[in-house]
Amino acid sequence: MSTPVNKNLSKRIKDIKLNSLLEITKAINNNFSTEQLLEIFEDVLENQLSIGKLVLFSNENEKGWKCILKYGVGSEYNEINVERDLLPITEIGTINFSKKQLNKAFEIVVPVYHKSQPLAYVLIGDLEDKVEVSPAIKHLPFVQTLTSIIVVAIENKKLAKENIRQAALRRELELASEMQSMLFPSTLPHDNKLDTAAFYLPHQQVGGDYYDFIWLNENECAFCVADVSGKGVAAALLMSNFQANLRILFNHTTSLTELVKELNTKVMASAKGEKFITLFIAKYNLVTHTLTYVNAAHNPPLIATENSISSLKIGCTGLGMFDEITKIKEGIVNITPGTTIVCYTDGLVELENDNSEDFGMDSLKEIIKNNPKLDMKALNKKIMETIITYKQSKPYIDDIALFSVRIH
């Protein structure tokens, strides 16, 4: 039969637990820091429930298990391997470590789960029950509940911070994407002399592929397609720098050989040998109908006439591969009316299907051969529709840029 003293002590313990839950709830609602929440947790367990030793391991997901709170213990807790020693435990109970030192330090393990996912493990020792002589096992469900509330609150704080970080990153990428779109020409000629069209699909929100069209004078134009090694923001930044240099250099020289040499110097200075750029650049004279080009290790564009289709391969090494490009060859082609040129990046021809087979240049040639009457915008659309069907369930593996021109 319970004595009045025991009843009063039992009520006091219940009040401690209730007040602790209220304090924790209030702290969470007031957005207390992780450190403040753990201080409250420690105060409740050590000072109010008289748990002399405690170690709290938390599941940090990709970072693995981490000790986020300890008191009353020495360095012995470092010997604990959570995956080996604790993961098999799913219910509150005594623990038996293989090392005697650990058995002396800790008596009970309290696992905290969310559904089937382990969130935390609490190891406790030196249990004292100031209410009764018997072990304080009856406090352990409360310890489990309190730990669960604390750990979930801390996890939610991490998720909130990560969501804010991700939102900021998304906005930065949106701005970078908007800025990158400004690099591309806003209009392309589509008249009785030239029919041009382009398409760009970045692998991520921003990418390292680039195309351009520039009028040099009333009788000459230049166009290019380029590809930075790598993907994402770093590639996009290098490409934006490259575009600015290319346009500036065209104001000083129209010699493709000189242009490529200078661009190589600029890329080496910017990328410091860590990235390189492949480039196809061409200059067309509308009066002489002569196309001059340099292919700097880029996927060779396809040039199609009524009777043949071939590749534009003549050029040099890629930009940024060597300090200096000593040997540059310029290709020269006499253009006949109706000639079509399709420039592209490797993300197009290297796209794989479910059998891990590349789309390939031959497939691109077939599309160009079989659709001689399509205008350039429709031809690009046909190419993209074909590769979407071809890739089946495989994802895009790289940026894709297309620049097509028909010379009338």
Q: Is 269 helix (H, G, I), strand (E, B) or coil?
A: helix
Q: Give the pLDDT of residue 273.
A: 77
Query: Which CATH code is given to the segment(s) 183-407?
Result: 3.60.40.10
Is 210 in contact with 225 (CB distance < 8 Å)?
yes
Overall pTM > 0.75: no
Nearest residue to 224 (alpha-carbon basis) of 305, 269, 278: 278
Task: Tabulate helix, strand, coil % of the chain (nearest 5).
Answer: 40, 25, 30
Q: Is 307 helix (H, G, I), strand (E, B) or coil?
A: coil
Which residue do the tokens 């429709």 mark? 378
Angle, helices 34-42 vs 140-181, to 10°: value is: 180
Q: Give the pLDDT of residue 134.
A: 33
Q: Which residue type occupies 170? A: R
Taking CA atoms, 191 is separated from 297, 331, 405, in Å, by 31, 26, 11
Nearest residue to 143 (alpha-carbon basis) of 128, 159, 158, 123: 123
Radius of gyration of the chain (CA): 34
Q: Give the pLDDT of residue 221.
A: 96
Per-residue model confidence as pLDDT tens digits over 266-291: 999 988 878 899 999 999 999 999 99
Q: Angle at the Cα of 213 (from 208 to 217), degrees rounded to 5?
A: 145
Q: Give the pLDDT of residue 135.
A: 37
Phi, psi values for residue 348, rounded to 5°: -80, -60
Q: Give the pLDDT of residue 177.
A: 63
Domain boundaries, the chain: 4-162, 183-407
Phi, psi values for residue 330, rounded to 5°: -105, 130
**Given this structure, which CATH class describes domain 4-162?**
alpha beta
Is 352 in contact with 308 (CB distance < 8 Å)?
no
Is 225 in contact with 211 (CB distance < 8 Å)?
yes
- Strand-pair category, 194-201 with 51-59: unpaired
Low-confidence ranges of the chain (pLDDT < 70): 1-10, 98-101, 103, 127-138, 168-169, 172-181, 204-206
